[in-house]
């Protein structure tokens, strides 16, 4: 039985709708009650002085929640040697520690429609404040909302994933941004892919 073109188009339109709902990015802000409860949960699961030291930074980030998606910019300077807790079985290479962290956070990110959209290694020096570290790499990660960022942080702390991050990093600068001009648009890219595949599908059954 030949599948009709309207059915094919409806299928691909449904696929795009599912993606659009999952991708989100225009939700409701955290309520004061959610914010307070979330921070209390985070404080109860974080471990290590570095994680505890950044709780106030997390609180300031969440306090400015507007419910919308954002991109977190990260500049990273590696330690000379990975700093794991005593009696750890992991090796001293900070890049390997960072690799473990990167691999471990893939699912906690993706299940919340969050993902790295840009990672680049530094290849030289140009203009630099004398007080600024010579960063090893920069990364930009898309978050669906600050609520998702909070849940992501809770997830990786409960699983003990962040130990790899702090073992690898000597210094970091992290701040949220919202694009003004960007050639990257997941919504438009996905719409194009679905439209293209829908057209190909109709040609195959023509």
Q: Which residues pair with 143 in a beta bridge?
A: 70
CA-CA distance, 120 to 17, in Å (whole number)?
32
Give the per-residue pLDDT at 2. 56
CA-CA distance, 62 to 42, in Å (whole number)?
12
| pLDDT greater than 70 at residue 206 | no
Higher-confidence residue: 47 or 32?
32
| pLDDT greater than 70 at residue 50 | no
CA 145 to chain centre: 10
Give the per-residue pLDDT at 6. 86
Give the per-residue pLDDT at 181. 86
Give the per-residue pLDDT at 204. 83
Q: What is the pTM of this model?
A: 0.90
Q: Which of 45-59, 62-76, 134-148 has the lowest mean pLDDT?
A: 45-59
Chain segment 119-160, per-residue pLDDT in tens: 999 998 888 777 778 899 999 999 999 999 999 999 999 999
CA-CA distance, 48 to 39, in Å (whole number)?
16
CA-CA distance, 82 to 118, in Å (whole number)?
24
- Cβ pair 169, 84 in contact under 8 A: no
Chain segment 152-192, per-residue pLDDT in tens: 999 999 999 999 999 999 999 999 999 998 888 899 999 99
Give the per-residue pLDDT at 172. 93
CA 185 to chain centre: 16
Q: How many residues does the chain have?
A: 206
pLDDT band at 52 (very low <50, low <70, confident <90, very high): confident
Mean pLDDT of 34-60: 87
Mean pLDDT of 63-81: 96
Across the chain, what does the average pLDDT equal?
92
Give the per-residue pLDDT at 1. 45
């Amino acid at each position: 039985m030949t599948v009709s073109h309207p059915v094919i188009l409806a299928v691909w339109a449904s696929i795009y709708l599912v993606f659009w709902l999952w991708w989100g990015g225009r939700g409701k802000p955290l309520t004061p009650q959610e914010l307070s409860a979330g921070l209390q949960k985070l404080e109860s699961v974080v471990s290590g002085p570095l994680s505890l030291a950044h709780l106030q930074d997390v609180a300031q980030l969440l306090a400015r929640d507007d419910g919308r998606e954002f991109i977190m910019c990260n500049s990273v300077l590696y330690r000379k040697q990975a700093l794991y807790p005593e009696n750890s079985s992991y090796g001293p290479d900070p890049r390997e520690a960072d690799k473990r962290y990167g691999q471990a956070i893939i699912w906690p990110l993706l299940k919340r429609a969050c993902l790295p959209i840009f990672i680049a290694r530094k290849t030289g020096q140009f203009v630099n404040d004398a007080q600024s570290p010579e960063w090893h790499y920069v990364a930009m990660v898309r978050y669906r909302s600050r609520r998702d960022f909070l849940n992501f942080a809770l997830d990786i702390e409960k699983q003990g994933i962040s130990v790899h991050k702090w073992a690898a990093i000597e210094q970091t600068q992290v701040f949220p941004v919202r694009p003004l001009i960007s050639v990257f648009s997941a919504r438009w890219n996905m719409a194009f892919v679905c439209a293209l595949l829908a057209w190909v599908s109709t040609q195959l059954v023509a």
